[in-house]
């Protein structure tokens, strides 16, 4: 089966510009996650969706970050305006079961953002 697909893989923008990342989860996976991974750090959860509902967005900086998951499948993460500190890898993951008790998340390869 196809894995989690993310695009773009790499993005370089100037500060104050907008940027958007797209994620297509594994077919049939109802739960979708966006994680932020800074250099030398482990991933940190930004937002989790159950179908089209954002059930945990407590770590999403809502002043500049937004996300949507229309129709409960694909998802988009947007940053507007981007700041230098937003340079990082943005990871999308999906899982079949509700919640993460199984711990088995399937990750995409990530979108690496560089803000100049």
Partner 1 sequence: AQSVTQLDSHVSVSEGTPVLLRCNYSSSYSPSLFWYVQHPNKGLQLLLKYTSAATLVKGINGFEAEFKKSETSFHLTKPSAHMSDAAEYFCVVSDQSYNTDKLIFGTGTRLQVFP
Q: Which positions lie near partner 1, rule CB under 8 A?
A: 3-4, 40-45, 48, 56, 91, 93, 99-110
Residue 31: CB minimum distance to partner 1, A: 10
Residue 93 CA to residue 31 CA, distance in Å, equals 8
Distance CA 28, CA 53 (A): 16
Gap between the Cα atoms of 111 and 93, Å rounded: 12
Residue closer to partner 1 by CB (options 15, 62) is: 62
Quote the least distance from Cβ 16 to partner 1, whole Å.
29
Taking alpha carbons only, the member of 107, 74, 71, 111 closest to residue 89 is: 111
Give the rounded distance of the alpha carbon of 21 from its chain centre: 7
Closest contact distance (angstroms) between CB of 27 and partner 1 is 16
Choice between 28 and 42, CB closer to partner 1: 42
Nearer residue to partner 1 within complex by CB, 37 or 66: 37
The Cα 25–Cα 63 span in angstroms is 26
Nearer to partner 1, 5 or 73 (CB): 5
């Amino acid at each position: 089966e196809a894995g989690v697909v993310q695009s773009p893989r790499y993005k370089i923008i100037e500060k104050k510009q907008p940027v958007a990342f797209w994620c297509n989860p594994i077919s049939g996976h109802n739960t979708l996650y966006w994680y932020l991974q800074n250099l030398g750090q482990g991933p940190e959860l930004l937002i989790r969706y159950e179908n089209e509902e954002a059930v945990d967005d407590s770590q999403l900086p809502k002043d500049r970050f937004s996300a949507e998951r229309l129709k409960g499948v694909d998802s988009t993460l947007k940053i507007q305006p981007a700041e230098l500190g937003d340079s990082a890898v943005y990871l999308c993951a999906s899982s079949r079961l509700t919640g993460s008790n199984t711990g088995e998340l399937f990750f995409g390869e990530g979108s690496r953002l560089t803000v100049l």
